Structure 1
Amino acid sequence: MGKSRFIELMAKSMGKTATEAELAELEVFFKQFPEYKRMHQVTDTLKGNTGQLNESKQKNISEKLEELWYKIKASNEAPVIYIETEQPKPAFKWQWAAAAILVLGMACSLFYIREFKQRDEAARLVMHTIHIPYGTTQKLVMPDGTKVTLNAGSEFTYPETFSKNTREVSLNGEGFFEVTKNPKKPFLVHTKKLTVKVLGTVFNVKAYNDDKTTETTLLKGKVKVELKNNPEKTIILLPNEKLMVSNNLPQTTAVANHNVNVAKIEYQVITLPRVKPEEIKETAWLDNRILFTNELFEDVAKQIERKYNVQVAFEDQALKTEQISGLLDQEPLQKAMQIIEMTTPFQFRIEGSTIYLSRKEKQN
């Protein structure tokens, strides 16, 4: 049934001019679309509240509504599957013509409300995933105003529109979050090993799958962390605290040559030293720096790969366990390696995008 036919039948029904066949046609429509039955009942009751206007105003409104009626009738419509007989169009009584226009308005409102809800639901299902190449970082602003800075080698997934109750994103890599406060909609960061839940705060999450640990460092506010392999266990972090969770935790470890099993540390919360903001190594990457203190060469090498977009190859595997300290700022790759070389017994060569590390030969 076309729109104009529906309006015409509604108008005739309320104006008491509809034939039995037209009433039957209208009833078939109501059975298919029962929500319009309620509109018919509402407009039918409204029809009796319009008798207070004088005759001249009624005639004026009737003429304008009749003009609008024919514009609606003349507008583009979907094809209809009924045959309409040619009959003289009766003069419309302005009361039920007004009710018919009201019905059209209510129908359009219902359509647009449904359309908006459907688009909103569809937007929540649209997910964006971005990949940050080595050698770069990227800043994003979430739909709620939350600011996210992503480190090199990260993969980040977020929805087009957040849901009504939560704001949820997923991270494989490293991200610095400045979350817009909203007590009614917690912000959740999902990683492979844990979920960080906040209401509004500033924190850093380092969750590369190929790192030994997943780390959450809190700078402002308060966060709650849930471990994926132990959902009932929650950890509350306060400012200047860092949570470290093992990514690949073995079940047991042999101690010396004895068959003794010892408990492993699944996670650890440490308090960061009180230093200047620019001296916090967990967030040094935001300024394109690498700050490391007594860290394994193997772990520092991964940071070098991400910062300089290179591959590090250890020709001497023992070098991986060397503990090194230092600061790499804006130096080019060659200079950065020379800085580390000053305090560590190794030598390097660069071939293309690969750095080869070997033990420095002892001089006689």
Structure 2
Amino acid sequence: MEEQLYKYLTDETTVTEKDKLFDQINASEKSRQEYARLQVLTALSSMASQRGDEEWSSRKMHELYEKVNRKKYRNLIFNMLRYASVILLAVAGTWLMTKYGTGSGQSFHTQVDVPAGQRVHITLADGTKVWLSPRTKVIVPNEFNKDNRIIELDGEGYFSVCKDPQRPFIVKTQKYDVKVLGTKFNVFAYSESPRFETDLVEGSVHVYNRENQDDSMILKPNEKAYLENNCLVKISHVFDNEEYLKNGIFRFAGVPFSEILNYLSLWYNVKFELNRATNLDRKVSGKFRQSDEIEYILKALQGVHKFKFRIHENDNRIEIY
């Protein structure tokens, strides 16, 4: 089974092999513990895959394996992961849903608020599937009207939209809207962040500024729209994170440490206080579940980047030094 786990964690399993593996994992507590152990080791290894780090990574991985094989360290790792949802293929934690009427009360909407460190998968009235990242808010009508399908997004969502040429699907964000007929795409648009991105997987989308129609563009598959100097720009970009997002896994390669902290700040509602000596430009690679506790994510990052941290739980502050 260990060999199968390694193949899964390195993305080498087929769909059939993956289903069989998770049946085995769910069958016993020992299998779940082994999966948790290998997940940590794989994450640490992948985060050190940058050029020049291979020898260091190999040495550190060997040291970690030696520690894991000793009972006291093995128990420590298992205890660290006791809260992680490492078995679930679809992570759908506790979330808040409220319903309210608008206008004369004839139109009802649902607001979904995803908690920090959780992900939510929802299916809309038209069959469209949406995967929401931590601390995302969406407002959707309980029933779409005959002219369009409009939802409001504050956060990040991956959309698989059911095709309906007569009713365009529109994702409204704080400043930009994304209009489609039927396609797959990802939108990153937290109101508390200046960052806005749309990645197109298939089909086509129209991204536009509601206040300035000249600030708009049409995306084709494997293109990305993002803000530069407060205007939309477009680049070729292969979005290969679909399965990871569906399973609540954040994967990154060669990303500055500062950018990872920005993501964590949004997803976990924490504020980082940075020491001047901290190397924020250091590029790291790896993956972790968005449902993992932030303490464990930071400990994994320490495996490839030298820094210390102190968590102040009373006011959601984390010192990085």
Question: What's the TM-score once normalised by structure 2's chain length?
Answer: 0.60
Alpha-carbon distance in 2 for matches of 1:283, 1:210: 27
> What code does the residue aligned with 1:231 have?
Q
> What code does the residue aligned with 2:207 have?
V
Q: Which has the higher contact order (CA 8 A, sep 6+)?
A: 2
> What code does the residue aligned with 2:205 have?
V
Q: Which residue of 2 aligns with 1:217?
A: 199
The 5-angstrom pairing of residues 323-334 of structure 1 reads 323-330=282-289, 333-334=294-295
Q: What's the RMSD between the two structures over aligned residues? A: 2.8
Q: Which residue of 1 aligns with 2:253?
A: 293
Structure 1 range deviating more: 320-329 or 160-169: 320-329
Report the alpha carbon displacement of residue 319 of structure 1 after superposing the two structures with TM: 3.7
> What code does the residue aligned with 1:215 have?
E
Q: Which residue of 1 aligns with 2:318?
A: 355
- Contact 1:226/1:234 (CA < 8 Å) preserved in 2? yes
Q: Which runs of 5+ in 1 are unaligned?
A: 1-118, 247-263, 359-364
CA deviation string 1:239-260 (max 9, x = no partner): 11111025xxxxxxxxxxxxxx
The 5-angstrom pairing of residues 26-65 of structure 1 reads none
> What code does the residue aligned with 1:297 have?
F
| 2:110 aligned residue (121, 128, 153) | 128
Q: Which runs of 5+ in 2 are unaligned?
A: 1-100
Q: Secondary structure at the match of 2:297?
A: helix
- Contact 1:297/1:319 (CA < 8 Å) preserved in 2? no
Report the alpha carbon displacement of residue 284 of structure 1 after superposing the two structures with TM: 3.7
Q: Secondary structure at the match of 1:126?
A: strand
Alpha-carbon distance in 1 for matches of 2:175, 2:277: 29
- Contact 1:316/1:357 (CA < 8 Å) preserved in 2? yes
Alpha-carbon distance in 1 for matches of 2:317, 2:145: 44
Q: Secondary structure at the match of 1:213?
A: coil
> What code does the residue aligned with 2:288 have?
D
| 1:322 aligned residue (254, 257, 281) | 281
Alpha-carbon distance in 1 for matches of 2:199, 2:118: 22
Structure 1 pair 313/163, CA: closer, same or farther in 2 (3 Å)? Answer: same
Q: Which residue of 2 aligns with 1:162?
A: 144
Instruction: Specify which structure has the higher proportion of strand.
Output: 2
Structure 1 pair 150/335, CA: closer, same or farther in 2 (3 Å)? Answer: closer
Q: Which residue of 2 aligns with 1:303?
A: 263
CA deviation string 1:249-306 (max 9, x = no partner): xxxxxxxxxxxxxxx46222121248xx4xx3x8744332222334343331132245
Q: Secondary structure at the match of 2:165?
A: coil
Alpha-carbon distance in 1 for matches of 2:238, 2:144: 36
Identity %: 27
- Contact 1:314/1:320 (CA < 8 Å) preserved in 2? no
Q: Secondary structure at the match of 1:336?
A: helix
Q: Which residue of 1 aligns with 2:307?
A: 346
- Contact 2:215/2:231 (CA < 8 Å) preserved in 1? no
Q: Which residue of 1 aligns with 2:272?
A: 313
Alpha-carbon distance in 1 for matches of 2:312, 2:112: 30
CA deviation string 1:17-45 (max 9, x = no partner): xxxxxxxxxxxxxxxxxxxxxxxxxxxxx
Corresponding residue pairs, total: 216
Q: Secondary structure at the match of 1:346?
A: coil
- Contact 2:208/2:216 (CA < 8 Å) preserved in 1? yes
- Contact 1:301/1:312 (CA < 8 Å) preserved in 2? no
> What code does the residue aligned with 2:273 have?
F
Alpha-carbon distance in 2 for matches of 1:335, 1:233: 41
Alpha-carbon distance in 1 for matches of 2:105, 2:214: 32
Report the alpha carbon displacement of residue 173 of structure 1 after superposing the two structures with TM: 0.3
Alpha-carbon distance in 2 for matches of 1:152, 1:345: 27
Structure 1 pair 332/126, CA: closer, same or farther in 2 (3 Å)? Answer: closer
Report the alpha carbon displacement of residue 212 of structure 1 after superposing the two structures with TM: 3.1
Q: Which residue of 1 aligns with 2:33?
A: none
Question: What's the TM-score once normalised by structure 1's chain length?
Answer: 0.53
> 1:182 aligned to 2:164?
yes
| 1:228 aligned residue (210, 213, 229) | 210
Q: Secondary structure at the match of 2:135?
A: coil
Q: Which residue of 1 aligns with 2:180?
A: 198
Alpha-carbon distance in 2 for matches of 1:169, 1:356: 37
- Contact 1:175/1:206 (CA < 8 Å) preserved in 2? yes
- Contact 1:124/1:160 (CA < 8 Å) preserved in 2? no
Q: Secondary structure at the match of 1:161?
A: coil
- Contact 1:216/1:242 (CA < 8 Å) preserved in 2? yes
Q: Secondary structure at the match of 2:118?
A: coil
